[in-house]
Amino acid sequence: MRSLKKRWIWYLLLCAAGAFGQTRTPLPLSLKRAVEIAIAPDGNTRIALAQESIEQAQEKVVEARAAFLPNLDASVQDRRQTTNLKAFGFSFSIPIPGFSIPSISGPFSVLDTRATAQQSVLNISDRQKLKASKASLTAVKLDLDSTKTQISDEVAHDYLACLRADAVRDTAKANVDLSQALLDLSNRQQNAGTGTGIEVTRADVQLANDRQRLIRAENDRARAVLILLKAMGLALDSPVEFTSKLDEKGAEVAGADALLAQARRLRPELKTQQQREQVAHFNYDAVKSERLPTIGTQADYGAIGPDVIGARATYTMGVALKIPLFDGFRRQARREESFSQIKQEQIRLRDLQQQVELQVRMALENFNSAKGEVDASRDGLQLAENELAQARRRYEAGVATSLEVTDAQTRLQRARDNQVVALYDYNVARLDLATSTGTIGDYINQ
């Protein structure tokens, strides 16, 4: 409910900003806020469907619990009828001439008002069905957690893609500024008589190429933002401003065994599958218990007579013991079917456990590799910046040509791109590791 209120607050702020002019104030967007908006019930179809599944499972629990409550009915019958006594075996023969008893009785009226109650006293199968319905409700609730985790993971990946697009755009702007500075330097060198026209042309070409890359970077950022807005369920024309940047946040990572134990304990998918296996066991026990005797009671109370005045109270009370003997092997077939369902759920659980282990190990390997790439890219960027600074000094001193500066500039641009890629891979690896171990909530709240 709190996330839903936050979502409406931000939506109203966006609408209010658009009402005061053509330029709307960008929405400050952090990763945590983006996920909160995305998993709000009114913002995501899968969340809404999962919550409806919970409602259905709750009603099934109520339906299963109804087997332990009395079943009450009331009826009123008012009929006028005739009866053929011979149809019931009555035949009257009186040896009196001119006198006979008619075989048709009536017409007569019957008024019957009655209340009937039925109560199950002992039915083991119904008890197992109630347990199965409760376990199913728990599984559906856990499935909602799995859905939220999946949506959070998707939105977090889209958010990181936007941060990468921002970093690529900023890098492209920095490259344009650098190319403009080097073009100005080439013009000064030519005016001073220490440079040539080809050097100016070379710097001008480099500037044009960098401007083209900047245009492409702007377009890529716009596309990344649209994908994120779609995942969040916001209007696609909503302006946003990201409050985070691609960086290397220190993270202490445990060993593989500790991470696997954490994943087995926290992953909602594993909890859901374990609950489904328990549901299959309860259903199997319910079918198996159908061969046991059941005990029930039945009673009715009412008034019957030719009319309201002549009606007299009557009642019936009884206890019934039902012992199943033979049903054409239907119970046996359903018991085997239920046992097969248990095996299927066990197979799914083993496969999911292997999949979780694979995800954790791959995420850990990717994280260690990405961390090394970040360190290497940082060193490479520092060396490239030093190389360009030395090349510019040599060119300004007239002991080198602009070609040396251009080569250094190209390596610096590559180093900047490598750092953006390394930081993006590092953050994605951290996200994948958190998702695989069931701690994505901690990652988002950082």
β-pair type (240-242, 27-29): parallel
Q: What is the pLDDT of residue 250?
A: 67
Mean pLDDT of 61-83: 91
Mean pLDDT of 132-145: 91
Contact 269, 147 (CB under 8 A): no
For residue 108, tell me if it sits in a domain: no
Question: Tell me, what amino acid is at 99?
Answer: F
For residue 407, tell me if it sits in a domain: yes
Distances in whole angstroms, Cα of residue 27 to Cα of each of 20, 30, 34, 165, 331: 15, 10, 11, 17, 62
CA-based nearest residue to 293, from 324, 263, 314, 271: 324
Check pLDDT > 90 for residue 42. no
Contact 111, 304 (CB under 8 A): yes
Q: Which of 18-22, 181-185, 254-258, 402-406 has the lowest mean pLDDT?
A: 18-22
Percent of the chain surpassing pLDDT 90:
52
Check pLDDT > 80 for residue 2. no
Q: Return the half-sphere exposure (C-beta side, CA atoms, 13 A cut-off) of residue 116.
A: 8
User: How many Å apart are CA 154 and CA 160, to the nearest integer?
Assistant: 10
Check pLDDT > 50 for residue 88. yes
Q: Which domain range does residue 407 map to?
A: 26-70+124-294+328-444
Q: What is the pLDDT of residue 12?
A: 46
User: How many Å apart are CA 115 and CA 74, to the nearest integer?
Assistant: 4
Enter the tokens of residue 93: 């023969």
Residue with tokens 């292997």: 354
Q: What is the pLDDT of residue 99?
A: 66
Q: What is the pLDDT of residue 43?
A: 62
Task: Output the pTM of the full model.
Answer: 0.78
Check pLDDT > 50 for residue 217. yes
pLDDT band at 92 (very low <50, low <70, confident <90, very high): low
CA-based nearest residue to 262, from 253, 250, 272, 273: 253
Mean pLDDT of 114-126: 91
CA pseudo-torsion sign 50, 56, 57, 58: positive
Contact 117, 300 (CB under 8 A): yes
Q: What is the pLDDT of residue 18?
A: 46
User: How many Å apart are CA 62 and CA 75, to the nearest integer?
Assistant: 26
Q: How confident is the prediction for the chain on average, in pLDDT?
A: 87
Domain holding 387: CATH number?
1.20.1600.10
Mean pLDDT of 32-42: 86
For residue 85, tell me if it sits in a domain: no
Mean pLDDT of 65-83: 90
Contact 345, 273 (CB under 8 A): yes
Check pLDDT > 50 for residue 16. no
CA-based nearest residue to 179, from 419, 416, 421, 413: 413
User: How many Å apart are CA 40 and CA 33, to the nearest integer?
Assistant: 11
Q: Which residue has the higher pLDDT, 22 or 129?
A: 129
For residue 8, tell me if it sits in a domain: no
Mean pLDDT of 162-177: 92
3-class DSSP assignment, residue 359: helix
For residue 117, tell me if it sits in a domain: no
Check pLDDT > 60 for residue 144. yes
Q: Under 8 Å CB-to-CB from 277, ≥6 apart: which residues?
A: 342, 345, 346, 349
pLDDT band at 100 (very low <50, low <70, confident <90, very high): low
Tell me the residue length of the chain.
446
For residue 318, tell me if it sits in a domain: no
pLDDT in tens, 409-434: 889 889 999 999 999 999 999 999 99
CA-based nearest residue to 128, from 345, 327, 335: 335
Enter the tokens of residue 237: 């024309």
For residue 1, tell me if it sits in a domain: no
Count of structural domains within the chain:
1
Mean pLDDT of 376-381: 92
Mean pLDDT of 305-328: 89
Mean pLDDT of 403-412: 87
Q: What is the pLDDT of residue 20?
A: 40
CA-based nearest residue to 242, from 30, 444, 24: 30
Check pLDDT > 50 for residue 17. no
For residue 91, tell me if it sits in a domain: no
pLDDT band at 208 (very low <50, low <70, confident <90, very high): very high
